[in-house]
Structure 1
C-alpha cells in the first residue's frame, strides 16, 4: 500500500484529522508548482500547496495537512518581511533604472525664473548600450557645477534557450530517448544527452563581462527512481546535434540534484562560463554509467548576468 493511503487511514481513525497538520521538509519544487516532501523518511510526490506558501524552495520546513490527498499549508520559520523588503527594493531599483525620467518640462518667451539656470549654446545626445538617451548641454559661462556622472550600470541579464537537444547511445543518436538522458536502466548501454545553442551564448556575451551563468533543468517523470539523483554535467563543443557519437568536454560537475518532476537551477563554475562566453565551448551535456543515477532531464535555458 502506498504512503498516501497509509497516511489517510491512520488519520481517519482520529477525530482531529480535519484540523491536524504535520511538519515536513520540502525535497524539491516541481514543474507544476507542487512540491515533493520528505514525510518521516518517505518521499511524497507532487503535493499541492496553498497560495499562502510562496517563494517555494527545496529545504523549506512546512506545515502539511495530511490525508489521502495531502496539502502543504504554509512555510515555517522566521518572519520573511525583511527578506521581502530587500527583494522588493532590488526590483524597484531595477525598474527605476529602466525608466527614463525628465524632472520637469516648461517653456516661455523669456528667461526662466529662479537661480541656477544655465544658458545652453549647443545640445548633444547619444544612445547608451542599454538603449537609453543621454543628453549633454554645452555652456559658455557656467554659473554652477554640473551634477556627478551617473554610475555605470551593468547590461541586463540575457536568457539563452536551446536550439535543440537529444540523447545518444552506443555511438549514435538514441532511437528511443530523445530527451537528454544519463545512465543505463535496461542494460542496453549508457546514455548521454546534450543541449545545443548554436553560437547564441558567445554572441550574447560579446563585448561584455560575464558575472554569472545559471541553467534551469527539470527532471522528467518516469525516468529511474523517484528520489533525488545528481546531474553529471559536461561541456561540449557542438553548435548542433552530431550524427555520430556525442563527444564530451570538461566535466563531470554535479551542480544540482533533483527528484522526479522537480525543477532546479545549476550555477556554472567560472571556468565553464568563460569557455561558453568565449566560444571555446558551445553547450552542455550529461553522462552517467549504470542504473544508480539514471535520469532524464528537460529545460536547459541559460541565464547570463553581466557586471558593469
Structure 2
C-alpha cells in the first residue's frame, strides 16, 4: 500500500468515526497479484493487499469487504451467491477427470463388423486403442435386441501450456543485460527498451496437425518498475528463433491486450491472426515495446496456453 493510499484510508476512517480493525469498508479489485489483490478504495490505490482464504476465484472488478488497520485484509467478496457458477465449474472438472481416468471410452455393438482400423477380434468382441490411449470395445451380436448406445464424441486434444525457451530485453540495438526481466519504455532517458519471449519451434510443433481454438498468454508486472497504476502492455509478434545478438526486430503490433497495475498478474487472449502466425511458425514469440516513461514496466511470466478444437 502506498503512503498516500494509507493516509487516505486513515483519513476516511477517522472522518467516519471508525477505528483500525473495527468493521469493514467496501473496495474494488483492480488487479490480482501473487500476494493478494490491488484495490481501489475511494480513488486510492492499495497495492498487494492480502486476502482471507475464503476469498477464492479472485477477479478484477470484484467488490470486496476490506478490514482496515495497519495491514488491511480483504475478508470476502460482495455480491451474488457464486454457488451455481462453482457447481458448473466442479462438474466440468469432474467430467474431465472421469474421461482422463476411465479405461473404456466407448462400448457399442451391431450385427456387422466394426468400421475403422485398429480393431482386434476376440471371438465376437472387438477392441482398439484410440489416439488418447483409451480402449474402445465393439461387440458383434447375432441379433440386436436393444439399440446400441451412441458412442460419445471424440474429445479435442488437451490444452498445452508452454513456458518460454528464452526471454530478455534489448536497447540501442543490442541486448540490455542491466534489465532482469523483459521491459518496455524508458525510465531514465537512456533509450527505449523492448522485451521479448521466445519459444523457438515449440509452438508450431505443438500445433502441427491440430486445429487451434485459442491462445492465451499470462504475464506478471514487476513491482518497482514505473508507476503503480494500471498501464497497458504494448504487444508485438517477433520471428526470432533464438535470442538475437543485435537488435530485436518487431513484427505485427502493437496490440494493447492487457493492462496491469504494479505486481498484478493477468491473462490475454491473442488475436486470431497472431495465433495463426505462431501455429504456422511464421512468428516465434511475443515482444513488448513502449516509447518514453508513461507505460514503462518490467514483466515476468509468459506462459502460453494453446487450446484445440
Global fold match (TM > 0.5): yes
1:145, distance to aligned residue in structure 2 (A): 4.1
Structure 2 vs 1, CA of residues 17 and 132 (structure 1 numbering), >3 Å: closer, same or farther? Answer: same
Partner of 1:246: 248
Corresponding residue of 2:111: none
2:9 matches 1:19: no
Following TM superposition, by how much is the alpha carbon of 1:122 offset from its aligned partner in structure 2, in angstroms? 4.5
How big is the shift at 1:98? 1.1
Contact 1:8 1:68 in 2 (8 A): no
Aligned equivalents of 2:299 and 2:191: distance in 1? Answer: 18
Contact 2:22 2:68 in 1 (8 A): no
Map of 1:1-308 to 2, 5 A cutoff?
2-5=4-7, 7-8=9-10, 11=13, 14=17, 17-32=20-35, 34-101=36-103, 121-139=123-141, 143-307=145-309
CA contact (8 A) 2:104 2:137 kept: no
Q: How large is the RMSD of aligned CA atoms in angstroms? A: 2.1
Q: Is the 8 A contact 1:4 1:67 kept in 2?
A: no
- TM normalised by structure 1 equals 0.88
3-state SS of the aligned residue for 1:202?
Answer: helix
Question: What is the alpha-carbon distance in structure 1 between the residues aligned to residue 129 and residue 298 of structure 2?
Answer: 45
Q: Deviations over 1:74-100 (max 9, x none)?
A: 100111111111111111111121121
Judging changes above 3 Å, is the alpha-carbon distance between structure 1 residues 44 and 26 closer, same or farther for their aligned structure 2 residues? Answer: same
Deviation for aligned residue 1:6: 5.1
| Unmatched runs of 5 consecutive residues or more in structure 1 | 104-118
Compared with structure 1, are the counterparts of its residues 193 and 217 closer, same or farther at alpha carbon in structure 2 (3 Å cutoff)?
A: same
- Measured after TM superposition, the shift of residue 244 of structure 1 is 0.5
Work out whether residues 20 and 70 of structure 2, in 8 Å CA contact, stay in contact via their aligned partners in 1. no
What's the secondary structure of 1:230's corresponding residue?
A: strand
Change (3 A) 1:287 1:131: same
* Cα distance, 1:151 vs structure 2: 1.0
Q: Is the 8 A contact 2:4 2:44 kept in 1?
A: no
Q: Displacement of 1:37 after TM fit?
A: 0.4
Give deviations 1:27-81, integer Å, cap 9, x for gaps: 111122x111011111111111111211111110111011221111110011111
Residues 216 and 305 of structure 2 are in contact (CA less than 8 Å); yes or no, is this contact kept in structure 1? yes
C-alpha offsets along residues 195-238 of structure 1, whole Å, 9 cap, x if unaligned? 01111111111111111110100001111001011000001111
The aligned length equals 291
Per-residue CA deviation, residues 229-280 of structure 1 (Å, 9 max, x unaligned), is 1000001111211101000111110000001100000100111111111111
SS at structure 2 position matched to 1:97: helix
Preserved contact between residue 219 and residue 299 of structure 2 (Cα < 8 Å): yes
- TM-score scaled by length of structure 2: 0.88
Residue 187 of structure 2 aligns to a residue whose secondary structure is: coil
What residue ranges of structure 2 are gaps of 5+ in the alignment? Answer: 106-120
Q: 1:37 to 1:15 in 2, by over 3 A?
A: closer
Map of 1:113 onto structure 2: none
Q: Secondary structure at the match of 1:88?
A: helix
